[in-house]
C-alpha cells in the first residue's frame, strides 16, 4: 500500500491540554505533510508539537489571541473559511468546533476527530462561565449565524469520529451524524524521569489536573477541601484558585516530569468536571493511581468502577467530602495499570490508520 498524503488540522495550538495531546498522537499515527491551525503559540504548547511542520493564519500575530484564543471567537469562522482548500488523500481535523470547516479540493476526504461539538455554541454557559458579560452578550448575538456555519462545516465531513460515547451522542443530537468511537490514548509515559514538586514532598494528597476554567470544576473541590483540613488537595494547571485554604496547594503549570511525579505520588486523582472524554484519569491509572470522579460524561468510558477508581454522584462540597472520606486506602495497582493499557497509543494509532485507509478506499 502506498503512503497516504495526509494533512492534519487542529483548532488552535495555544495551550497544553488533552486535545493537544491527541493531536500529537494523530500526527504520530499519520505522518502528515503538515499541520494547519488558526492560532499558533510555540512557547505555550507541548514541545513535541513544534517538531511537526505547522501552518497558521494571521491571527497568530496577535499576542492577545495567543494567550486566550476565546478572544478571537468572532473572527475564527471567517479565518477558517479563508484558508486555501487542501488537496490531499485525506485531511484529518482534530476539532472542537473550528477545524472541521477546513476547505478541501478535488477528491480529498475529510475525517473529523471530534473532541466535542462546539462548546461555545451548544454548551455556552459552561464555556463562558468565567467570562465577563460583554463577551457573553457578543456570543449571544453571533450564535444564530455561527450555528448555521458550524452545521454546514459538520456536513462537509465524510467521516466523524467521537472521542467517547457521550460525545457520539452529542454529535448525533447536534449534527445528525453517526460517529465511530475511538478513545484517546494515554500519552504520559510513566517510565520517564520524574521531578518532585517541593511543596508536596512527603505529603499525602488528592490531585486535580486541569485548567481552572468553569466547567473544569476546580472551585467545588476547593470548597469541599476547605471543610476537610485533615485532607490535602493539589491543583495542577493554569488559572486562579480563589481564596485557597491552607490544605489546597495550587502548583500552577507543571513540567511533564513534575506531572509524572504528581501522578505517581497522589493518593488519587479527583475531578468533578464534565469532561468530553477526560484523559487525566487514564494518565493517573498508568502510574497505578486510582481515581475519584463525577459519574458523568467521558469518565464513564475511561473508568472501570471498582478497579481503576470510584464515582461520586454529585459535585456539591458535601457529596465530595463524603466520597473523599470514604475513599479506600489500598488498591490493586497492577490491575489499575492493566486498565490503562487498554488506552495505549498503539491501539489508537491502529484504529485511526484503519479508518483513514477505509475512507480513502485504499486496500
Q: Which of 22, 146, 21, 10 is nearest to 69 (CA)?
A: 10
Q: What whole-number distance in Å separates Cα of residue 174 and Cα of residue 120?
A: 13
pTM above 0.85, yes or no: no
Q: What whole-number distance in Å separates Cα of residue 22 and Cα of residue 345?
A: 9
Q: What whole-number distance in Å separates Cα of residue 316 and Cα of residue 285?
A: 25
Through-space distance between the first and last CA atoms of the chain, rounded to whole angstroms: 7
Which residues, in sequence order, are bridge partners of residue 112?
Answer: 93, 160
Distance of CA 132 to CAs 75, 125, 271, Å?
A: 19, 12, 25
Q: Which of 91, 78, 86 is nearest to 149 (CA)?
A: 78
Rg (CA), the chain: 20
Are 46 and 20 in contact, with CB atoms under 8 Å apart? yes
DSSP state string for 131-190: S-HHHHHHHHHHHHHHHHHHHHHHHT-SEEEESSHHHHHHHHHHH----EE-PPPP---T
> What is the predicted pLDDT for the residue at 141?
85
Q: Which of 283, 297, 252 is nearest to 119 (CA)?
A: 297
pLDDT tens digit sequence for 208-257: 998 544 445 688 999 999 999 999 999 998 667 778 899 999 998 899 99
Element (H, E) at 55: strand 54-55
Are 94 and 26 in contact, with CB atoms under 8 Å apart? yes
Distance of CA 291 to CAs 92, 109, 263, 312, 352, Å?
A: 32, 39, 10, 11, 27
> What is the predicted pLDDT for the residue at 111?
98
Which portions of the chain are predicted below pLDDT 70? 1-2, 124-136, 211-217, 238-239, 362-363
Residues 6+ apart with CB under 8 A from 104: 85, 86, 87, 91, 110, 156
Are 13 and 45 in contact, with CB atoms under 8 Å apart? yes
Amino acid at each position: 500500500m502506498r503512503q497516504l498524503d495526509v494533512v492534519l488540522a487542529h483548532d488552535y495550538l495555544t495551550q497544553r491540554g488533552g486535545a493537544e495531546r491527541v493531536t500529537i498522537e494523530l500526527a504520530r499515527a499519520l505522518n502528515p505533510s503538515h499541520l494547519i491551525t488558526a492560532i499558533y503559540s510555540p512557547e505555550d504548547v507541548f514541545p513535541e508539537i513544534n517538531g511537526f511542520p505547522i501552518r497558521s493564519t494571521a491571527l497568530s500575530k496577535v499576542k492577545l489571541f495567543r494567550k486566550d484564543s476565546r478572544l478571537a471567537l468572532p473572527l475564527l469562522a471567517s479565518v477558517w473559511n479563508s484558508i486555501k482548500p487542501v488537496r490531499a488523500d485525506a485531511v484529518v481535523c482534530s476539532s472542537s468546533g473550528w477545524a472541521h470547516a477546513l476547505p478541501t479540493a478535488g477528491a480529498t476526504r475529510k475525517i473529523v476527530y471530534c473532541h466535542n461539538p462546539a462548546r461555545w455554541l451548544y454548551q455556552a454557559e459552561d464555556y463562558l462561565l468565567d467570562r465577563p458579560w460583554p463577551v457573553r452578550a457578543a456570543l449571544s448575538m453571533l450564535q444564530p449565524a455561527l450555528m448555521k456555519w458550524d452545521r454546514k462545516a459538520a456536513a462537509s465531513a465524510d467521516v466523524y469520529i467521537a472521542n467517547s460515547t457521550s460525545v457520539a451522542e452529542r454529535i448525533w443530537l447536534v449534527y445528525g451524524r453517526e460517529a465511530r468511537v475511538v478513545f484517546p490514548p494515554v500519552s504520559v509515559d510513566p517510565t520517564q524521569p520524574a521531578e518532585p514538586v517541593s511543596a508536596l514532598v512527603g505529603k499525602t494528597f488528592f490531585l486535580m489536573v486541569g485548567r481552572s476554567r468553569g466547567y473544569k470544576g476546580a472551585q467545588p473541590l476547593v470548597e469541599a477541601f476547605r471543610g476537610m483540613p485533615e485532607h490535602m488537595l493539589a491543583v495542577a494547571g493554569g488559572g486562579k484558585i480563589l481564596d485557597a485554604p491552607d490544605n489546597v496547594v495550587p502548583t500552577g503549570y507543571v513540567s511533564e516530569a513534575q506531572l509524572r511525579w504528581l501522578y505517581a505520588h497522589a493518593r488519587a486523582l479527583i475531578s468533578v468536571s464534565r469532561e468530553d472524554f477526560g484523559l487525566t484519569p487514564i494518565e493517573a491509572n498508568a502510574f497505578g493511581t486510582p481515581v475519584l470522579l463525577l459519574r458523568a460524561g467521558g469518565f464513564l468510558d475511561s473508568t472501570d468502577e471498582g478497579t481503576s477508581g470510584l464515582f461520586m454522584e454529585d459535585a456539591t462540597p458535601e457529596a465530595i467530602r463524603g466520597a473523599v472520606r470514604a475513599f479506600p486506602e489500598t488498591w490493586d495497582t497492577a490491575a489499575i495499570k492493566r486498565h490503562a493499557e487498554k488506552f495505549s497509543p498503539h491501539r489508537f494509532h491502529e484504529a485511526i490508520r484503519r479508518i483513514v485507509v477505509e475512507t480513502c478506499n485504499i486496500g
